[in-house]
Chains A and B, each alone.
Chain A
């Protein structure tokens, strides 16, 4: 919403209020000023000049050479191609080294060999008209020569740009903003009541109004003006419209727009001679009803929209835009003004469906005050009087099926002070509220009809607080019951996982949780997999972000791709990401978390495995097991393992299948792990118990055995682990060797086993039987030979 500050003078005194102060104070009282602009700052060295003499250009038929008096000692010479110049014309002149709006700089130069010391300007060059003008702006003869053009054209205008919140449609008007200004600066505020000179006829004899559906229109006020003379509106009105960003059209249309700005009440003017039966009908549109709107676009309506119709056809989309068939034009002689209140939701939906959000619909959809209609239309008629644009017919057509009653709420100053944490006196509250036209009467407060947003004590408290000043509210700390805050065990677990993985050399990533449904195929999830059942977004930004992910693989792969294509030599990342699984019969999907790890560069399978092992140990899951997994299509069949503990599947780790890497344009081995956070959350045990440090020394024995190549080390470990001797403290794989020395198809595996007694120093007699037993079992079960 734009507000030329000078317009405020119609309702209050603004002397001595500097723009910067205005901006600050209004913002602090709740009317957000985004900025104040002044077109004058765009002008430099542009003055009024008078053309003294015009001569032909010696070398160009289309140019003339003018001597122009710009109030200096001697006239200056300007070459122009404009057709409308004449000797004696008073014109705007941009002199040598001048600036025009849009940052245009003018300097002296030569046109076809003749020197020119500036430029005479048209309206568009001066930035006061959007359209390309046909000639130089000719100013009135008595305009003082040499005067600054900014002063002459009244361009030295501060225009404030407001951001109006959706609860305050009353502030989408000059009067509303003036009221806020007066309340903020505590100055008297007065809106003049329009006085209409009308003839003795009765408007009801000219036109009638019928509201078919009173839910859609709670008031319709019409007035008739006859003997209309369509003409341009006066310069002062055009200037105000322009300052607010509205193009001038003609006196009647300009008046409706002027009223919309001033009163925040959209209006429309119909050519009454084109209203069939001279009857206005407010009704639902019919499905597929056609109407050509004022912008010459054919529109197809539906029954949720409101139309203004005459006896035969639609003549406007109510609250959005009028129809071309009843448009006011140069030939119009009788005008019907409309000032009505339409249903906010219906206008909003209709405007959205038609894709035509207009200034009017933006107002209506916030819910307007029915009590504003009559003043607005009277003001329009008053302006018709003032402009001599027509003869106002007596009487007002006013269909007002649901008369609005002013709201009355209890006035509770004590409660408000308690709520705000302040001590404002009752008298001060009453005074501040009165500035906003809230009237306190005993224990009650009368809410002005234009404040539909006020519904209770909290709303009134806000009015008091913002006028009083939020900055004057003290700062206190909460009292009352102690509350123990903190994180839940699961939140702490998540923190632990994050810390552990960060310390393992991985960088945490954060990825979008919606993906392209094709990504599941890219990571080779089979077509019949339940993960292809997605939560779908009905209005996605694009197909690539259209479903909620059911799997983390592609999220990680995309990030690795980004890093790979940017030639980062390595990347190792993780995310604790949410996946979304639709649940039959439930409105909301299951949201579960997966710990996803991915890396390329100087890594191999055992790096990712080591990271997962460390993670599991950290969260107190010790008895985990890795089992070769050959059939997961996302992974390399020979380098993949599923992880389990306590009979539960924890997830999967391994090398990503080369075909998947190709799909993501990564020409490197990628290793990944996907661990189900929910299972971790079930199994984790972060309790720690101290074990006494050993009193007796340990004994270490190395055993190296030869086994067939396909025997997994895990099977050897199982046998060592299964020993019930009670003296095996630890075991470590320290060598795997394949080569001629152990024979073809064989490998040597060497373990270092640590033994320790809890009550004595172990002797060979204690240890040997255990190692013998291990070797025997290895031989029996795995065919292992001691090396």
Chain B
């Protein structure tokens, strides 16, 4: 019997080793280990053995059965792994074929940049206030210390609806309306469309956007104005940005300043973007003129404040290197899809 078992073992070993499919494996399992299998047949014959031989042969039979069982499992594992490997091979795709993209849209570049500006100012406690685009001359000019015959009106080429109504040339009227309604402290920005009768070219548009800010409270100083704008510029253009305040004149602020930032491209060395000057003008600002406060019913002896105005197109121009203003309003999707 010993020989028989050894033969079964070697036969099984050989057959299993060459089994190529799971079906063949199953057949072999039945053949060797099944109820009518060869090993079972041998085991059945054990009764004829002597009591001394029986346990020895029994042990040997068990060993053979375990051996075949393990070999079956191992071979099965192998075959499964090979099958999986084959399947993965068969399913190989060309990964260089372009992906299936969902249709994409996007915000206008001016909106994206405006969103950034809003976030920065909201972070400093500012609210956002909107107002009408068709505006009373009073709010657009007179309340802002620009009476009817003021020479500054020449420089702001205004669209008139009639003698008393204009298309706003700035978003400052929103500030006046706010001051009339709300008692200080006031901390607002008023972004929006403004209009000036400039013919369209690469640097002019009759419609453009401003973001104006206003702060009114007790004890607001020009140093606060500088600090606030510096914080803003650093957040927008990076920590290393430096600001330069140059004296200027606006009818509604006193003192007034124009503000340059150190060129974000060259850091002040001089380059194409800053036209070699190292500085880029980005906004106008100043301490709110006492007359303007008075016009809005705020006592300039108690309160002070500052205001600033940023050209959104200009900021966007520098952000994306857009050199022609017309692109913003043509709305060619090949342009819009770049942002």
Contacts and interface: CB of A to CB of B under 8 A. Distances in A.
Nearest to B333: A571
B309 interface: no
Contacts of A578: 133, 193
B134 A548 contact: yes
Given A478-B215, A538-B162, A28 B247 contact: yes
Q: Size band of the A side of the interface?
A: 35 or more
B76 interface: no
B137 to A, nearest CB: 10
A329 interface: no
B227 interface: yes
B165 A587 contact: yes
B164 A587 contact: yes
Contacts of B159: 537, 539-540
B329 A505 contact: no
B105 A507 contact: yes
Contact of A476 (B103, B108, B136, B221): B221
Given A477-B231, A502-B107, A587-B165, A421 B224 contact: yes
A8 to B, nearest CB: 20
A477 B187 CA distance: 13
B58 interface: no
A150 to B, nearest CB: 25
A485 interface: yes
Interface centre among B150, B164, B207, B221 (most CB of A within 10 A): B221
Contacts of B160: 537-539
B287 to A, nearest CB: 6
Contact of B219 (A28, A418, A535): A418
Interface in A446-499: 456-459, 461-462, 465-466, 470-471, 473-488, 491, 495, 498-499
Interface string A536-578: 1111110001001000000000010011001010111110001
A573 B333 contact: yes
Contact of B122 (A168, A487, A510): A487
A541 B206 CA distance: 8
Contacts of A478: 187, 215, 217, 220, 224, 227-228
A481 B105 CA distance: 42
A563 B150 CA distance: 43
B107 A498 contact: yes
B206 A512 contact: yes
Contact of A462 (B122, B125, B254, B331): B254
A420 B221 contact: yes
B134 A572 contact: no
A562 B331 CA distance: 8
Contact of A32 (B108, B128, B246): B246
A572 B105 contact: yes
A488 to B, nearest CB: 7
Q: Is the interface of B mostly helix, strand, loop or mixed?
A: mixed
Contacts of B111: 498, 508, 510
A542 to B, nearest CB: 9
A756 interface: no
Nearest to A580: B134
Nearest to A555: B331
A773 interface: no
Nearest to A463: B255
A511 interface: yes
A365 B153 CA distance: 12
Contacts of A420: 221-223, 255
A589 B108 CA distance: 27
Given A498-B107, A539-B159, A168 B127 contact: no
Nearest to B206: A541
B332 A563 contact: yes
Contact of A535 (B118, B123, B134, B328): B134
B245 A541 contact: no
B121 interface: yes
Interface stretch (A341-349, A615-623, A686-694, A778-786): A341-349
Contacts of A501: 105
B283 interface: no
Contacts of B287: 419, 458
Nearest to B287: A458
Contacts of A348: 149, 151, 154
Interface in B93-137: 102-108, 110-111, 115, 118, 121-128, 130, 132-136
Interface in B239-267: 244-249, 251, 254-257
A303 interface: no
Given A508-B108, A580-B134, A587-B164, A458 B331 contact: no
Contacts of B224: 421, 476-478
A480 B247 contact: no
B155 interface: yes
Interface string B54-96: 0000000000000000000000000000000000000000000
18 contacts: A32-B248, A348-B149, A420-B255, A421-B221, A421-B224, A422-B222, A458-B290, A470-B247, A473-B245, A478-B187, A501-B105, A504-B105, A507-B337, A511-B331, A512-B207, A513-B133, A545-B206, A563-B332
Interface of A: 27-30, 32, 165-168, 344-345, 348-349, 365-366, 418-422, 456-459, 461-462, 465-466, 470-471, 473-488, 491, 495, 498-499, 501-514, 535-541, 545, 548, 559, 562-563, 566, 568, 570-574, 578, 580, 587-589, 591
Interface of B: 102-108, 110-111, 115, 118, 121-128, 130, 132-136, 149-152, 154-155, 159-162, 164-165, 167, 185, 187, 193, 197, 199, 206-207, 215, 217-224, 226-228, 230-231, 244-249, 251, 254-257, 287, 289-290, 304, 328-334, 336-337
